[in-house]
Amino acid sequence: MPDSAVTSNTDDASSHRYNALCDRAVDFVLSRKGSAPEDLLILHVFGNTGSPSLWRPLLRSVLDADPRIRFRADGQWALARDEHPDAPTDLLLDSFVAIDVETTGLRPQQQRIIEIALIRYEKGHEVRRFESLVHPQRSIPRFIADLTTITDAHVADAPAFSEIASDVIEALGDSLLVGHNVGFDISFINAELKRCEQPTLINDRLDTLGLANRLLKGLRKPNLGRVAEHLGLSATKLHRAATDASLTAEVALRLVDEAVRQGVTSLDQLRISARIEVPMPREHVGRARAQMDTKMLADIPRKPGVYLMRDAAEQV
């Protein structure tokens, strides 16, 4: 028998096997009234034979080619019918404040804000903005000045954060906060508020970085500029607070349009879609193969006691 015939028969058998898997998945989604969480679908299709993370790549590679079903931004597999063709974006993102800060470094407890922009949007349109340079009460590092074009001379007569804290609080109110890697911006604002003995922010937030990761498949290194260009927006003069906040708002509105097309119908689903998935550590990591950056050990307390461990966003 020619080799080509053997290959053809093998491909047909594989295709038939995957067709059966697709049918099983579609039938289950139908039984769930048109949508099902991915982990639940994996258990139904493959059975309880290991962690869902082991089966997820196979499930997605097979079902992505099936026109009857699609993976939604909220983590559900759903029938590929346009269930909400006219769902307006402004119902999901009706009112929000786009935020961005420029800083002297990456650590909110040690570094300071040098520029802040807060832009309020209502029904897709800017209605108010607050922006200001901020005196960091220290020198601006050269690499930060090169990145942002903000120098010590620019902030020499700028207010300290304590002088604008009340304006910041008023501009933010209790609004939904939208930013690209929004946890970074909020952690710096909260650090500055703590120094002023003001309450920290507890606002709901929406991260366009997480949303882009979920919605724009195949986009590598989704920083603000790359995401904006992918969505057809002009990304120039970045790394200034007002420019970045305004561009983030435009990115958010376009990402929400895409989320609606992918089946998202509520703000809660949108926020779930925007969550950044943190990869789990590898199992069975042996000695001498620790995954922690050993430089962190320099700050580890030397005395016994009870300690609270906080992440970059100052969350315990």
Return the higher-pLDDT residue of 217 and 310. 217
Structural contact between residues 114 and 136, judged by C-beta atoms closer than 8 angstroms: yes
Higher pLDDT, 206 or 309: 206
Residue 290 or 225, more confident: 225
Residues 120, 148 contacting (CB under 8 angstroms): no
Burial of 245 (0-12, 13-18, 19+ CB in 10 A): buried
Residue 4: Cβ-neighbour burial (10 angstroms; 0-12, 13-18, 19+)? exposed
Q: Is 239 a catalytic residue?
A: yes
Beta strands in 181-294 (DSSP E): 205-207
| Residue 41, pLDDT score | 87
Q: Which of 18-27, 43-52, 72-81, 226-235 has the lowest mean pLDDT?
A: 72-81
User: Can you give the pLDDT at residue 280?
Assistant: 46
267-274 and 241-261 helices cross at what angle (nearest 10)?
A: 110
* Average pLDDT in the chain: 82
- Which is it for strands 69-71 and 95-103: parallel, antiparallel or unpaired? unpaired
Q: Which residue has the higher pLDDT, 314 or 282?
A: 314
Which pLDDT score is estimated for 286?
Answer: 45
Asked if the model's pLDDT at residue 10 lies above 50, the reply is no
User: Which of the following is catalytic: 44, 230, 239, 284?
Assistant: 239
- Tens of pLDDT, residue by residue over 67-111, are 888 877 667 788 875 444 444 455 688 899 999 999 999 999 999
Which one, of 185, 182, 201, 202, lies nearest residue 193 by Cα? 201
Higher pLDDT, 249 or 308: 249
Cα distance between residue 248 and residue 291, in whole Å: 33
Least confident of 33-37, 62-66, 113-117, 256-260: 33-37
* Single pTM value for the model: 0.65
Cβ neighbours of residue 247 closer than 8 Å, sequence gap 6 or more: 224, 228, 233, 235, 238
Give the H or E element holding residue 28: helix 3-31
The yes-or-no verdict on residue 61 having pLDDT over 90 is: no
In this prediction, residue 40 carries a pLDDT of 86
Confidence of residue 62 (pLDDT cuts 50, 70, 90): confident
Tell me: pLDDT of 1 over 80: no
Answer whether residue 149 shows pLDDT above 90.
yes
User: What pLDDT was estimated at residue 287?
Assistant: 42
Percentage of the chain surpassing pLDDT 70? 80
120 pLDDT higher than 70: yes
